[in-house]
Amino acid sequence: MSKIEIGHGSGGSLTKDLIENIFLKYLNSEELKPLDDASYINLKREKTAITTDSYVVRPLFFPGGNIGKLSVCGTVNDLLVSGSVPEYLSLGFIIEEGFPLDSLETILKSINDTAENAGVRVVTGDTKVVEKNKCDGIYINTTGLGELVIPLFLMDVSDGDIVIITGTVGDHGTAVALARDELHIDTLVKSDCASLHELLIPLFDIEGLKWMRDPTRGGVATALAELSEKTGLGVEVFEEKVPVREDVRFISDMLGYDPLYIANEGKALIITSPEAADRIIDNLKKHPLGRDASVIGRVTSNFNRVRLKTRIGGERVLDLLEEELLPRIC
């Protein structure tokens, strides 16, 4: 048997074989092994962070990652930018009848490798199978739990704070768009899909860290526009300071996209006090994932919008994105 059959979702012998011979081959934490209706985890602390997400990226495999790696990184990073150390992960799979088992194994191996690297344990999960053409291959839902170390509140952001991005913007959305072969552009852009645990956890000890965000759908511009809307403060962004790969910039210009609105899956947007900015930049640049970290703007009370200072000396407003430029990028 080389493909998923509808019987794999029946709860019977085919389900048992799929879980024991495929899933547990890669996902084998002690909490998961009993295969009970619930897993027992130890949460001896005052506060726990929890997040949930669903992944429907198309295509399932793209330069720099796949839906499995993406599902772990996305959930881990959401916990990290909330000031938490990720610990536990649940996985829910919706799989289309006929999905190749070797592709499923590749995805599961990526999940296992990424989770191990990030220090998180997959402790529970679920699998459903739907009929042919009722699902686009495989969808994954995740829930992540982590230990809250430093609460980061948007309302702590104030006039004069510094805006930092940890690396180049627009890589993931561009890579996924090119992988669809709809644009017919012959260049290789890799997704920045990565867990940011080693990059961000050291920042938790720095006084002056105010707020962080994982700028996925809608990109950096939308994240900052939401910050401005919720705080009533403005943000001044300097275009010349925003790190963008040359190939991403070229493709964006050709398609009429703004890299600031394109999704990222391995970057963090950070707001910090002016006094802490240099120390945070120094820490980021010590890690390969932060070598392109840059101060890209500042928070201001002089206006209440996000304004981009362009390279040619002009200015334009960065509003909330109304529609996703590139749907199904995560």
All structural domains of the chain, each given as residue ranges with its CATH number in brackets, are 6-148 (3.30.1330.10), 154-317 (3.90.650.10)
pLDDT at 1 over 80: no
Q: What is the percent of the chain where pLDDT is above 90?
A: 85
pLDDT at 183: 66
CA-wise closest residue to 229 among 218, 238, 240: 218
Average pLDDT over the chain, rounded to an integer:
94
Name the pairing type of β-strands 121-130 and 209-213: unpaired
Strands in the chain per DSSP E: 48-55, 61-62, 65-66, 84-96, 121-130, 138-148, 162-165, 209-213, 234-238, 269-272, 294-300, 306-309, 315-317
Using one digit for the tens of pLDDT, what is the confidence trace for 29-68?
988 888 888 988 888 777 899 999 999 999 999 999 999 9
Tell me the whole-structure pTM to 2 decimals.
0.95
Q: What does the alpha-carbon distance between residue 301 and residue 279 come to, in Å, rounded to a whole number?
A: 24
pLDDT at 181: 75
Instruction: Determine if the peptide bond prior to 59 is cis (ω within 30°).
Output: yes
Q: How confident is the model over 176-187, as a mean pLDDT?
A: 80
Task: Say what the alpha-carbon torsion angle 158, 160, 161, 167 is, to the nearest 10 degrees.
Answer: 140
Question: Could you tell me if 138 and 18 are in contact, meaning their C-beta atoms sit under 8 angstroms apart?
Answer: no
Q: How confident is the model over 301-319, as a mean pLDDT?
A: 94
Residue reference for tokens 């490798």 = 113
181 or 15, higher pLDDT? 15
pLDDT at 42: 82
42 or 204, higher pLDDT? 204
